[in-house]
Amino acid sequence: MMDIKSATFVSSFTDYRQCPDINIPEYAFVGRSNVGKSSLINMLLDRKNLAKTSQTPGKTQLINYFLINDTWHLVDLPGYGFAKVKKSIRKDFNRIIKDYAAYRKNLVCLFVLIDSRHKPQNNDILFMKWLGENQVPFVMVFTKIDKLSELALKKNIDFYQEQMLQHWEILPEMFFTSAEKKNGREKMLGYINQLNQL
């Protein structure tokens, strides 16, 4: 288990080309607007409002960098595909995210967040397909599991996996989390810790 000894906000960027020019491992959180990226980051880091959260989708609009234990970066990305954000801005977000995922050399693993309450959404499926085609390493993180009964959660996950198996031969690693109840913290930090050793 990894202790979080320090977690500090570094800066925000609009483009992967501006991101810190320092060669340490980096993990980024991505997913639809409001899926719980910033909340999950705060939960993992055990910091109340380090990453800004909001009930209004579209809160995170930049690439936000956090330095952890002085040895690795955690990155909060803007949400993709939120319908109420102006179309031109939505397009910009998608560009920012895809450029970052495709070209950022330090990126070790992308955490794709999925709201565990919802059926597979087309833009999530398409985004992961795009990641596969572009050889971006990623895992799936189901969020807000506290909002479902155990049975409903299992049903949704089973259905999601079935759908994924139509595009994928092997499923990516999956984590099940609640920022509210702190589920999944040890597993995710352990996973990052393992990758940091490589």
Contact residues for ligand GTP (CB under 6 A)? Answer: 33-39, 53-55, 57-60, 79, 143-144, 146-147, 178-180
Residues 6+ apart with CB under 8 A from 160: 114, 119, 120, 142
In this chain, which of 47, 59, 104, 117 binds Mg ion, going by CB under 5 A? 59
Residue 183 near Mg ion by CB under 5 A: no
Phi-psi category of residue 133: left, alpha or beta, with phi > 0 → left and psi -120 to 50 → alpha: alpha
116 binds, among Mg ion, ligand GTP, none (CB under 5 to 8 A by kind): none
- 61 lines the binding site for Mg ion (CB under 5 A): no
Q: With CA atoms as reference, report the closest residue to 37 among 142, 124, 135.
A: 142
The amino acid that residue 38 corresponds to is S
Alpha carbons 156 and 137: distance in angstroms, whole number:
24
Nearest CA to 35 among 157, 177, 148? 177
CA–CA distance, 148 with 176 (Å, rounded to integer): 12
By beta carbon distance, the residue nearest ligand GTP is 79
CB of 76 to Mg ion, least distance (A): 6
- Applying CB under 5 A, the span of 34-42, 86-94, 114-122, 126-134 interacting with Mg ion comes to 34-42
Q: Among ligand GTP, Mg ion, none, what binds residue 143 when CB lies within 5 to 8 Å by partner kind?
A: ligand GTP
57 binds Mg ion (CB under 5 A): no
Residues that bind Mg ion in the complex, under the rule CB under 5 A: 37-38, 59-60
